[in-house]
Amino acid sequence: MQACLDEAWKYQCLTYPNPAVGAAVLKEGRLLSIAAHQQAGGPHAEVLALKEAYYRLTKDSDILPITQALHLHNYLQTHAHNLFHDATLYVTLEPCFHYGKTPPCSLLIKSLGLREVVIGTLDPNAQATGGAAYLRHNGIKVRVGVLERQCQELIEPFVKWSNGSFVLFKYAQTFNGVVKGGIISSQASREYVHALRDRIDLLVIGGNTVRIDRPILDARLVGGRAPNVLIYSKKKKFSDNIPLFGIGGRRVYIEDSLERVAQYSFVMIEGGEGMLRATKMMVDWYLQFVAPKCRALENYRCDKKIEFLHTRKIDRDLMIWSQNG
Residues known to be catalytic? 46
Give the SS3 label for residue 217. Answer: coil
Kind plus residue range of the DSSP H or E element containing 151: helix 148-154
Task: Determine if 126 is a binding residue for a second copy (CB under 8 A).
Answer: no
Q: Are 264 and 202 in contact (CB under 8 A)?
A: yes
Q: Which stretch binds a second copy (CB under 8 A): 107-115, 174-182, 235-243, 245-253?
A: 174-182
Return d(Cα 19, Cα 39) in angstroms, integer: 9
Q: Which stretch binds a second copy (CB under 8 A): 124-132, 135-143, 228-236, 269-277?
A: 269-277
In whole angstroms, the minimum distance from the beta carbon of 187 to a second copy comes to 6
Interaction with a second copy in 65-94: which residues (CB under 8 A)? none
Return d(Cα 47, Cα 89) in angstroms, integer: 10
Q: Are 35 and 23 in contact (CB under 8 A)?
A: yes
Burial class of 230 by CB neighbour count within 10 A (0 to 12, 13 to 18, 19+): buried
Task: Determine if 208 is a binding residue for a second copy (CB under 8 A).
Answer: no
Q: Are 32 and 168 in contact (CB under 8 A)?
A: no
Task: Determine if 296 is a binding residue for a second copy (CB under 8 A).
Answer: yes
In whole angstroms, the minimum distance from the beta carbon of 304 to a second copy comes to 5
Return d(Cα 242, Cα 141) in angstroms, integer: 59
Task: Determine if 232 is a binding residue for a second copy (CB under 8 A).
Answer: no
> CA quadruple 172, 175, 179, 181: dihedral positive or negative?
negative
How far lies 24's CA from each of 124, 146, 286, in Å? 21, 13, 28
Task: Determine if 277 is a binding residue for a second copy (CB under 8 A).
Answer: yes
By beta-carbon proximity to a second copy, the closer residue of 89 and 294 is: 294
Q: Which of 188, 234, 239, 257 binds a second copy (CB under 8 A)?
A: 188
Task: Determine if 301 is a binding residue for a second copy (CB under 8 A).
Answer: no
Task: Determine if 266 is a binding residue for a second copy (CB under 8 A).
Answer: no
Q: Which of 54, 175, 232, 266 binds a second copy (CB under 8 A)?
A: 175
Task: Determine if 152 is a binding residue for a second copy (CB under 8 A).
Answer: no
Q: Which stretch binds a second copy (CB under 8 A): 66-74, 120-128, 197-205, 296-304?
A: 296-304
Q: Are 275 and 232 in contact (CB under 8 A)?
A: yes
In whole angstroms, the minimum distance from the beta carbon of 321 to a second copy comes to 6
Q: Are 84 and 25 in contact (CB under 8 A)?
A: yes
In whole angstroms, the minimum distance from the beta carbon of 81 to a second copy comes to 27
* Residue numbers at the binding site for a second copy (CB under 8 A): 6, 9-10, 12, 29-30, 153, 156, 171, 173, 175-179, 185-189, 192, 273, 276-277, 280, 283-292, 294, 296-297, 304, 306-324
